[in-house]
Amino acid sequence: MSGWLAALDRRAALRAKAGLTRRLRPRAGTDSVVDLAGNDYLGLARHPTVTAAAGAALTGYGLGATGSRLVRGSTDLHAILESTLADWLGTGAALVYSSGYLANLGAIRALVRPRTLLVCDAHNHASLIDGARLSGAQTVVTAHADPAAVDAALAAAPGRPAVVVTESVFSVDGDLAPLPDLYTVTSRHGALLLVDDAHALGVTGPAGAGAVAAAGLAGRPDVVVTATLSKALGGAGGVVAGPEPLIRHLVDTGRTFVYDTALPPAVAAGVLAAARLARAGDDLRAELADRATTAVRRLRAAGLAVSDPAGGVLSITAPGPEAAVAWAAACLDRDVAVGCFRPPSTPDTRSRLRLTVNTGVPRADFDRALDIVVECA
């Protein structure tokens, strides 16, 4: 075997010894497993209005966008989706990407100037971490959800341009960033605030407009919002929303936008339909909140350590990576899918099961799935 392949085998063996092997588990379209692992919070991925819109666009536009947005990839559906998202989020403009990951990379790079300081929460998503690394800017990682630590980091670099980067609802534990306090700090230091609202869009805020809107920060000129379109909206893609000059800058210079094939029109059509349903979906958000509260109560009653969810994400502490894998596998053997998070996917040394609320799952199945999670612990 070639030396480099042997080295990869040795590294794989070390990961296996540490309980960090990952496996792909293909599922069929007719899969009957109760889904407490995906991010389809409002159950819109299979909503008939959403799939009908996507199907019509598939017939009209074909499978893919056939090019980047600046060549042939922009359609009227992309333009309508962007104006809809900007109006919903309360920003001057919005730009749609083919993934939330690329949206975060592009947004961070666009905000970095010479001498820019990036201040990042320790629990930020990998896309935000990678965006900071690829930007080349000096990065300070602060304690999780700690405005005082952010204040100290900014105070230590007076006069430098700075961007504070955080999630709103954090993707691992599902807790909420202290956005009003963070904005007070960034305003005092003249810094920008970049908020990844991926797990809040559609789930929290007025008409589901997200945590930034809930904090009263929508449309502020020194706040930039990113989000994925693959969670509560049940589709794919990402968005950067903020002042119009930022969006113009991204169109002109953003490499993850300029050089990437556009989001397929059928997906844009489906997400557009989902966004309209989510905006009017206060009943779905009420059901999601009720299920999250129920899950925390029942899991804690069984003696499990559970996070306090701000949206549809909650995590349960596992004894270690091997135990988390075994626990998740036992649940799947009983037709319940749960997330299994281990280092390095977790921002600390804890392994967890991550449960996500999907209001598209029948309530009886959801309740039964909670019982199975407890029984398999």
Average pLDDT over residues 167-188: 96
Assess whether pLDDT exceeds 70 at residue 1: no
Instruction: Express as a percent the part of the chain with pLDDT over 90.
Output: 90
Query: Where residue 17 falls among pLDDT bands split at 50, 70, 90?
Result: confident
pLDDT of amino acid 172: 85
**Mean pLDDT, residues 26-39:** 89
**Could you tell me which residues come within 8 angstroms of residue 264 by beta carbon, excluding any fewer than 6 positions away?**
61, 63, 64, 65
In the predicted model, what is the mean pLDDT of residues 166-179?
95
Q: b/e per residue, 10-45, with b = 16+ CB within 10 A?
A: eeeeeeeeebbeeeeeeeeeeeebbbbbebbbbbbb
**Residue range 48-73, pLDDT digits in tens:** 999 999 999 999 999 999 999 999 99
C-beta neighbour count of 151 within 10 angstroms: 20
pLDDT digits (tens, 9 = 90+) for 353-367: 999 999 999 999 999
- Check pLDDT > 90 for residue 28: no
Residue 99 confidence (pLDDT) above 70? yes
Map out the domains of the chain with their CATH numbers. Answer: 25-42+282-375 (3.90.1150.10), 48-279 (3.40.640.10)
- pLDDT for position 341: 87
What DSSP line would sit under 229-274, residue for residue?
A: SSSTT-S--EEEEE-HHHHHHHHHH-HHHHTSBPPPHHHHHHHHHH
pTM check: above 0.85: yes
285-319 per-position pLDDT tens digit: 999 999 999 999 999 999 999 999 999 999 999 99
pLDDT at 167 over 80: yes
pLDDT at 147: 98
